Amino acid sequence: MAALGLEEWHLDLHADGARRDEAVAQLHGLLVRAARFEVFRRRGSLPQLSAVELDELAQDAADDAAVSVLRRLHDFRGESSFRTWAYKFALLEAAVKVRRRAWRDREVTLEPEHWESLAHAGPGPDDDAESAALLEAVRDGIRTALTPRQRQVLVLVVLEGVPIDVLAERLDSNRNALYKLLHDARRRLRAHVVAAGFPEVNE
Amino acid sequence: MTGRDLDPTLKRLLGSNEPEIGCDECFAQLDRYVELELAGGPADALVPGLRAHLVGCPACAEEHESLRALLELDSVS
């Protein structure tokens, strides 16, 4: 039997015995490479960790990614190369671990009041009255147009800069669910601003 | 008022009214999207809503940048 091509070795992940073991080892090598790439790319947010500790973090991420890849092999449809598809699992695991580690000892105030001082992030003394009025409409919208949960997620993620994965962990939720809250909060806020007389804001 | 006139914080608060996909769908499509981008293909036309999501979601945007950078590194090594 001819050897599998460079992009076909992953088919052996569906096999049994030694063939599968070899393919799993090859997969793990790819995932370690991607996880190390991500961890060392973001090492600026983890100045307290040594190179050895960063590498341990990458290895943990690669191990978790391998579990995810093997569990979701049936999702691979060949719309990209297998390597690219597998890489994204390792990058996700590594990125989440880096963010959570960086925030591990930082308190997240789950009932933030920061938005009350939003004016500090808004127009300066040279800005016109329209900008000031828009800022006030946004503040009013945060106060009155959002549910408490939407306000919490919007303020913590956008104004406090809490990474969404860190917040998901603290709230026992997940990234997708929190982003949906954030998306809905933004939509309500835009509608509030339009109702206050400002034109729809577009990129 | 256009997005360009807005303070960056207000921009992040208000987001965009463009249709966008969520984080799970972004993850599901990210590999295909990045390969299309790197090949100069019509990534935004074939994966609608992903670009808008990257603008609104810093975490997914970081992972998009990383996948793109890793594939670019692979292509030269």
**ipTM here:** 0.93
The ranges of chain B with pLDDT < 70 are: 1-5
* Contact B54/A at CB under 8 A: no
* Residue A46's pLDDT band (cuts 50, 70, 90): very high
Residue A102 has a pLDDT of 97
Instruction: Give the 3-state secondary structure of residue A104.
Output: coil
In sequence order, the β-bridge partners of residue A202 are B2
Pick from A89, A91, A118, A169 the residue to mutate for testing the B interface (most B CBs within 10 Å).
A91
> In this model, does residue A2 exceed pLDDT 50?
no
Average pLDDT rounded to a whole number, residues A121-129? 58
Give the one of B18, B34, B62 whose C-beta lies nearest to A203's C-beta: B18
Which residue of B60, B70, B72, B77 to mutate against A (max A Cβ within 10 Å)?
A: B70
pLDDT at A80: 96
Q: Which of B20, B50, B36, B30 is nearest to A89 (CA)?
A: B30
- CA-based torsion, A102, A104, A106, A112: positive or negative: positive
Of residues A189 and A122, which shows the higher confidence score?
A: A189
Among candidate residues A166, A175, A171, the one with its CA nearest the CA of residue A103 = A166
Distances, alpha carbon A20 to alpha carbons A15, A16, A72, A96, in Å: 5, 5, 16, 28
B10 contacts A81? CB cut-off 8 A: no
In the predicted structure, residue A79 carries a pLDDT above the cut 80: yes
B53 contacts B23 by C-beta, under 8 angstroms = yes
Of B7, B17, B66, the CB nearest to A190: B17
pTM to 2 decimal places: 0.90
CA-based nearest residue to B20, from A87, A84, A186? A186
The reported pLDDT for the residue numbered A199 is 82
Phi, psi of B72 (to 5 degrees): -65, -40
As a whole number of angstroms, the distance between CA A99 and CA A161 comes to: 12
Please tell me which residue of chain A has the smallest CA distance to B66.
A38
How far, in Å, CA of B74 to CA of A32, rounded?
A: 14
Percent of chain A with pLDDT over 70: 87
Tell me how crowded residue A169 is: count the other CB atoms within 10 A of its CB.
18
The alpha carbon of residue A88 is apart from the nearest alpha carbon of chain B, in Å, by: 7
Instruction: With beta carbons less than 8 A apart as the criterion, state whether B38 and B69 touch.
Output: no
Q: Which of B17, B22, B56 sits opposite A176 (nearest CB)?
A: B22
Q: Is the pLDDT of residue A104 over 60?
A: yes
Query: Contact A156/A128 with Cβ under 8 angstroms?
Result: no
3-state helix, strand, coil in chain A (%, to 5): 70, 0, 30
B35 vs B71: CA distance, rounded Å: 8
